[in-house]
């Protein structure tokens, strides 16, 4: 039986289908049957009119933002409502969003899991090549390490060059900026103005059970919102 929060994603390929309800009602019924019983909350239904061959879909991106913010599971009637493209499904899995198909609840593990294993093997191969390259550099006498965060002239014993360290810092900053922009979009999707006071936004996000950027709490403080807004 289904448990927790869910966001349903319904997709049809033509505007005519959207207006007539053809396809949508069948998908909605399939989702309803999957959720029948258990302890669940369907927090949002998102409908999109777009071909399954196209991977850029604003409404699906909105559904994913909702799932990530509310720690909800994306539910579809059939897997082809998401995409017929294997790379797209693997990217969806990497995004961290939980998703399930009503017609085959195990498909997310049986199908996408296989793709994930293939990707994982490739990641291992890349990791091995990187380690081999570092070992070869060390054997040539190249000094490997990183620089102190507080003192850029101080070298500390950690694998990686100064450039690697700086790239890591930039990567973290880019990730934080991306998270902030997604949260701003989520706030707009919910009909709240991002220009509202930090206190009002903190209350708004807390009431909806949205996880803070650290992922350790759903209770927002005004200072947390202020740090988020500073990246908008």
Q: What would the DSSP string read from start to end of 69-113?
A: HHT-EEEESSGGGT-S-HHHHHHHHHTT-EEEETT-TTHHHHTHH
**Tens digit of each residue's pLDDT (9 = 90 or more) over 114-131:** 644 554 566 567 778 888
Give the domain ranges of the chain: 3-112, 128-229
Does 35 score more than 60 pLDDT? yes
Does 138 score more than 80 pLDDT? no
Domain 3-112 listed as CATH 3.40.50.1390: yes
Tell me the C-alpha distance between 7 and 19, whole Å.
21
pTM of the model: 0.52
């Amino acid at each position: 039986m289904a448990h927790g929060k869910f966001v349903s994603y319904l997709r049809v390929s033509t505007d005519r289908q959207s207006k007539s309800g053809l396809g949508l009602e069948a998908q909605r019924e399939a989702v309803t049957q999957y959720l029948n019983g258990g302890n669940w909350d369907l927090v949002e239904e998102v409908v999109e009119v777009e071909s399954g061959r196209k991977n850029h879909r604003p409404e699906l991106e909105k559904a994913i933002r909702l799932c990530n913010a509310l720690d909800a599971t994306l539910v579809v009637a059939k897997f082809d409502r998401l995409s017929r493209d294997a790379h797209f499904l693997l990217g969806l899995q990497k995004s961290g969003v939980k998703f399930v198909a009503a017609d085959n609840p195990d498909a997310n593990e049986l199908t996408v899991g296989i793709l994930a294993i293939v990707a994982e093997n490739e990641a291992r191969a890349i990791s091995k090549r990187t380690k081999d390259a570092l070992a070869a550099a060390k054997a040539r006498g190249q000094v490997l390490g990183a620089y102190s965060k507080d003192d850029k002239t101080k070298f500390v014993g950690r694998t990686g060059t100064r450039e690697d360290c700086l790239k890591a810092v930039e990567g973290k900053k880019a990730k934080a900026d991306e998270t902030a922009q997604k949260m701003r979009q989520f706030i707009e999707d919910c009909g709240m103005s991002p220009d509202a006071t930090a206190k009002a936004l903190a209350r708004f996000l807390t009431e909806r059970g949205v996880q803070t950027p650290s992922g350790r709490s759903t209770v927002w403080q005004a200072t947390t919102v202020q740090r988020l807004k500073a990246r908008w």
